Amino acid sequence: METLAMHISNGIVNGPVAAVFAAFALAVLTLCVLRGRRDLDDRLAPMAGLVAAFIFAVQMLNFPIFTAGVSGHLLGGALAALLVGPWVGALCVAVVLVVQALVFGDGGVAMLGLNVTNMAVLGTAAAYLLIALLLRVLPRTPAGLAVTAFVSALVSVVVASQGFVLQYWLGGTTDLGGNLAGLAGTMAGVHLLIGIGEGLITATTVVTVAKVRPDLVYALRALRPAAPAPVVPVAGGAR
Amino acid sequence: MSKRPWGFVVGGLLVALLLAGVVSNYASSHPDGLDSSLLKGCTVDAEGEITGGSCPAQQERDHELADSPLADYGVRGLDNDFLSTGLSGVLGVLLTFAVGGGVFWLLRRRGAQPPTAGAQSPTADAQSTTAGPQPPADDASRAARSR
């Protein structure tokens, strides 16, 4: 059977660059622990455990992206940022990546800093910046939440993919003969398509949670504090 | 006080277990976006091994823990692919929840004491001083709004 690798494998980026990103990832995750503790209470902690477990599960579900022989899977940064906030969300994705590297042989242990930087740090940060912007300007409806989730998820995947391109530029093990732009373009194109899948999964999941337990969606608590819950004034006022 | 999350968490876990334990068997087996981009320029055989050409993945080495009992999302020694993938997924979801939930539970702010009253353990004390007066204020304003 072919190996089922989803993240950066050993030998793709050289040791020194991987070590620098490991230090960077560790520093950012430490900051996330310090800032995330403000958010982590008796209600958010179990929710964050669930978000990590859910991301692990959905990452296993590679979906076709309608270009020959290529699949995509959820990264989860936007989903985590929406449900448990940016600081705890980045930690959730990092937990998934650590479990995958140490137990499932997915993503080299020596490459963990690179994978954490791209998916946990860059992906979650890009997503939350967009979430914070979009939730403020879009209407407070399930559709507004869905659009926010879709766009932030899509963009976060492309940003994460370009994080890898930067790392490969700094320490890639094969000389591309100056064709870094080719790699950047290929990565961006493929991950734009994957981002559509990521966006659909993220929007579906978050809208579902918001319907069942709106109080458990961090982004709605933190960014739309005036609305106690998306008990959207049943659109009747507009009619 | 807000509603407890436990019922929701259990329900969510069941969904995750179903996805990782059953649906995972229907996932696409094609290389993902990263893998396929890294193989561009190389020719690959049916096993996914590089047979020639030049591409970013050609220096790829084995994983440090490639012999782990759950490596590559399968249970070693289990011949049935369906069970192997599903069981590894179920174990992964439970393990991730245990690790993540455990870490977050230990890191959480305890109780709703004001910052000066929260000095029980030395670490908690150090954290609350670095965190400053913001969390209680934040909490109070949130609580006020939700009332």
Q: Using CA atoms in the order B27, B32, B36, B39, what is the torsion angle rounded to 10 degrees?
A: -100
- 8 A C-beta contact, residue A193 and residue A66: yes
* Tokens linked to A70: 């290529």
- From B24, B104, B105, residue closest to A88, measured CB to CB: B104
Distance of alpha carbon B43 from alpha carbon A6, whole angstroms: 19
Residue with tokens 């334990």: B21
Q: Where are chain B's structural domains? A: 78-110
- For residue A210, what is the nearest residue in chain B, using CA coordinates? B8
Q: Answer yes or no: is A230 within a domain.
A: no
Tell whether the model's pLDDT for residue B108 goes beyond 70: yes
User: Taking CB atoms and an 8 Å cutoff, what residues of chain B touch A164?
Assistant: 34
Residue A234 lies in a domain: no
Tally of domains within chain A? 1
**Where in the sequence is the domain holding A202, given as residue range(s)?**
2-222
A14-60 pLDDT per residue, tens = 999 999 999 999 999 999 999 999 999 999 999 999 999 999 999 99
Q: Report the mean per-residue pLDDT for chain B.
A: 80
State whether A33 and B107 contact (CB < 8 Å): yes
Encode pLDDT of A66-84 as tens digits.
887 899 999 999 999 999 9
The minimal CB distance from B58 to the residues A73, A174, A182 is found for A174
pLDDT of res. B132: 42
ipTM: 0.90
pTM higher than the cut 0.90: no
pLDDT bin (cut points 50, 70, 90) of residue A172 is: very high
Can you give the CATH number for the domain in which A103 is found? 1.10.1760.20
Is A89 among the domain residues? Answer: yes
What is the distance between the alpha carbons of residues A142 and A130, in angstroms, rounded to a whole number?
A: 17
End-to-end Cα distance, chain B = 10
Distance CA A55, CA A70 (A): 21
Q: Is residue A73 part of a domain?
A: yes
In a domain, A227, yes or no: no
